[in-house]
Chain A
Amino acid sequence: MMMESKDRESTGSSSILERIKKNSLVQGWLVLILALFFGSALASVQLSLGPKIEMNKLNETLDKVPELVLGASQLDEMEAKNQKLDIEPMTVNVDKNNKKVSYNVYKTTYNGKIIGWVVKTKGQGYAGNIELLVGLDSGIESITGLFILDQKETPGLGNKIVTEKWRKQFINKPTKNQLIVVKDGADALNEIDAITGATISSRSVSNILNIAITDLKGQLISG
């Protein structure tokens, strides 16, 4: 160490070199080069995979739309004849008590005639948000389908809202009256059977549907 400092004193120019070498920016040259290298790798990943990921996000909903509006059997018929629905995504803004709420709505048409609507909406469930797609007929007079996109309900209990058996109840329900969830035997046209042990989850779904239908009924038919 003593020799080093003597050398440093005697040669003034090399001390500047030493100072440059000790500068953290220079010592970090590896970090900077790596950052550049990784940055460009990530940019290329973004360029190549970005569009595919966007498509995945869109298709997640778009894939479900035909079945929600037509029902499984009619959809099979159409596919056998190689016919496809035209789907037009749109945003519908609704004014509620001075609050603007916007809905993602998918308008389905075939040869220019409106076949039905699919609304993506969400609301509070028992243990988190429930996000769902509901199919409505062209005049918003009945429900044509229901699909749960995302939920965090209790596995084995509230989780059962995703089962087809429970969701089937909603098909052909009229929108004239609000949907009510009952615990024992649904009789009237606007009643839905709750899942045993998961009344809150069942009621959350019906609440979300009631709110969406009430909000959009006027908007979609006139607009």
Chain B
Amino acid sequence: MSYLADIFLIALSAALINNFVLYYFVGICPFVGVSKRVEMAVGMGCAVTFVMTIAAFLCWIITTFILMPGAPLSKWIAGFFVPANVAAGIDLTILSYIVYIFAIASSVQFVEMYVRKFFPALYRSFGVFLPLITTNCAILFACLTIMSKIVGVDNPADAWDLGRSLTLAIFGGVGFTIAIVIMGGIREDLELCDIPKPFQGVAITLIVGGILAMAFMGFTGVDVGLRNAIMPL
């Protein structure tokens, strides 16, 4: 029961309270660049969510079994070359960033192939934006958050399992989609307004984004209240 409550709180926090775009500032480039129309925004949001989930899955598996200090697979392979007690201390976290970015690139390739095969019209409308998802900060940020919850905890029992990691990825993507869809809707209306010349383009988008971020600040502390209500100490 408390596992489900934990999952619920992680999901809520990732989607609304600590929204990836409006609180952590990751995924700003598509937020500012792509969100001119709501359909494009929804498509981009779904693609990012999809890629983020696959990338988080790969990252969790690789971190837990290969990269983290004392990981099972590395320990077993190292056991062939060095004595067992040295192999137990193997720590490959220095390679994390390189491995993650290649895992993300592979996820993007995989999603690209899938979309090209099953949704050709969508693929054409995406154009160059699909491969560009590789450089989307939000996906790498999700992987880094998962890594910090596995490698950075003092108590190994607190390390995140696959369920929590996937929840963070899926609902982080949902939060990203919410943010850029709202932004897309606002920008559609902004095109009918008379904006002063210096503000046209990215500047007014940022200012609107700031007001949106202020609105989302209203969610602060909701997870604390919910946590106290659901899981009384």
Contacts and interface: CB of A to CB of B under 8 A. Distances in A.
A and B directly contacting (CB within 8 A):
yes
Interface of A: 38-39, 42-43, 45-46, 50, 100, 102, 104, 124-127, 154, 200, 211
Contacts of A39: 95
B121 interface: no
Contacts, number: 26
A50 B154 CA distance: 17
Interface string B134-172: 000000000000000000001101000000000000000
Interface stretch (B108-116, B204-212, B220-228): B220-228
A124 B227 contact: yes
A42 B220 contact: no
Contacts of A200: 221, 224
B155 A102 contact: yes
A126 B228 CA distance: 12
B94 A45 contact: yes
B220 A126 contact: yes
A127 B221 contact: yes
A100 B157 CA distance: 10
B154 A104 contact: yes
A127 B220 contact: yes
B98 to A, nearest CB: 8
B221 A43 contact: no
Contact of A42 (B91, B95, B233): B95
A209 B94 CA distance: 36
B221 A126 contact: yes
Interface of B: 91, 94-95, 98, 154-155, 157, 220-221, 224, 227-228, 233
Given A102-B155, A104-B154, A211-B233, A42 B224 contact: no
Contacts of B228: 124
8 contacts: A42-B94, A45-B94, A50-B91, A124-B228, A125-B224, A126-B224, A127-B220, A200-B221
Contact of B224 (A43, A46, A100, A124): A124
Nearest to A122: B154
Contact of A43 (B94, B98, B154, B157): B94
Contacts of B98: 38
A61 B231 CA distance: 30
Contacts of A211: 233
Contacts of A38: 98
A45 B228 CA distance: 44
A102 B228 CA distance: 21
A61 to B, nearest CB: 11
Contacts of A125: 224
A200 B220 CA distance: 12
- Top 5 nearest A-B pairs (CB, nearest first) are A46-B94, A42-B94, A126-B221, A127-B220, A124-B224
B22 to A, nearest CB: 14
B170 to A, nearest CB: 21
Nearest to B17: A127
A101 B221 CA distance: 25
A91 to B, nearest CB: 9
A125 B221 CA distance: 8
A188 B188 CA distance: 59
Contacts of A45: 94
A121 B233 CA distance: 16
A213 B98 CA distance: 43
A200 B94 CA distance: 39
A45 B154 CA distance: 24
Nearest to A47: B94
A200 B228 CA distance: 13
Contacts of B227: 124
B151 to A, nearest CB: 12
Nearest to B227: A124
A46 B96 CA distance: 12
Nearest to B13: A128
Contacts of A124: 224, 227-228
A96 to B, nearest CB: 9
B23 to A, nearest CB: 10
A185 to B, nearest CB: 26
